Amino acid sequence: MTTRFLGDSTVLLGRSMRHIARSPDTIITTAIMPIAMMLLFVYVFGGAVHSGGTASYVKYLLPGILLITIASGISYTTLRLFMDQQSGIFERLHSMPIARSSVLWAHVLTSVVANAISLVLVVIVALAMGFRSGAGVPAWLAVAGLLLLFTLTLTWIAVMAALSAKSAEGAGAFAYPLIFLPFLSSAFVPTETMPAPVEAFADHQPVTSIVNTIRDLFAQQSIGSDVWVAIAWCVGVLVVAYALAMASYRRKIA
């Protein structure tokens, strides 16, 4: 059963990746908005909000931009899954002798691969802007693992949204609050500079913990308790989103 599930998921992943290969503008568009935002904040607002220079602010800014990149890419996952439902692909696949859950997992794996490519593009631009880190391989692997966990969490939320959406516009628009969330965190400025109610929210939402952890890993500093808070948030939301998405999926194919 496991072998069949893996085989079916791999075949369907290949189908999704071929679609992306024929339309690379999806990944380019996903990466362009965070890159444009990074350029805007560093070269337009950077002098006003950060006094350490361009390279210093890129280093401060990059973790938040990476999370925005993932949130931006998630909207395409929702749209692709919604369009598969509307076009009848779901019914066609379910008429075949395949593992039912592989249909969803193919979209999830496609999201992971596509977002990974977008993240690499953003990091390359950040390097061109002066970003440097003395972090070793273990730190970079820890950053990659945390970004992977965050991608999986948002992707399963996206799956849940796609299965309940009534229109393509609604499916794609659900990601906007997720893109906005890093702005209410430590991603762009220290939370202590914010008004008290906003600071309280920023200090106790998951993006701040994730951003602080990635920033500390890049700076080769002790990560403290932020990493455990970040993992707890991601795993907790992931488990709930996965359970709700699978329940919704079972209702649809029943």
Distance CA 212, CA 114 (A): 24
Q: At what angle are helices 101-128 and 226-253 packed, to 10 degrees?
A: 140
CB 144 within 8 A of CB 213: no
In this prediction, residue 226 carries a pLDDT of 87
In this prediction, residue 214 carries a pLDDT of 94
In this prediction, residue 240 carries a pLDDT of 93
Distance CA 137, CA 125 (A): 20
Q: For 208, which DSSP code?
A: H
Give whole-number Cα distances, 121 to 118, 137, 205, in Å. Answer: 5, 19, 27
Write out the DSSP string of 89-156: HHHHHHTSSS-THHHHHHHHHHHHHHHHHHHHHHHHHHHHTT------HHHHHHHHHHHHHHHHHHHH
Tally of domains within the chain:
1
CB 171 within 8 A of CB 161: yes
In this prediction, residue 41 carries a pLDDT of 85
Tens digit of each residue's pLDDT, the chain (254 residues): 556 666 666 766 667 677 666 666 666 777 788 888 888 888 887 666 655 566 678 888 999 999 999 988 888 888 878 877 776 666 666 666 666 667 778 888 888 888 898 899 999 999 998 888 888 899 999 999 999 999 999 999 888 888 887 777 777 777 778 888 888 898 888 888 889 999 999 998 999 999 999 999 998 888 888 899 999 999 999 999 999 988 888 777 66
In this prediction, residue 125 carries a pLDDT of 92
| Structural domain boundaries, residue 37 | 2-253
Distance CA 95, CA 11 (A): 16
In this prediction, residue 193 carries a pLDDT of 86
Write out the DSSP string of 138-198: HHHHHHHHHHHHHHHHHHHHHHHHHHH-SSHHHHHHTTHHHHHGGGGTTTTS-GGGS-HHH
CB 218 within 8 A of CB 59: yes
**pTM for this model (two decimals):** 0.87
In this prediction, residue 46 carries a pLDDT of 67
Residues in the chain, overall count: 254
CB 63 within 8 A of CB 210: yes
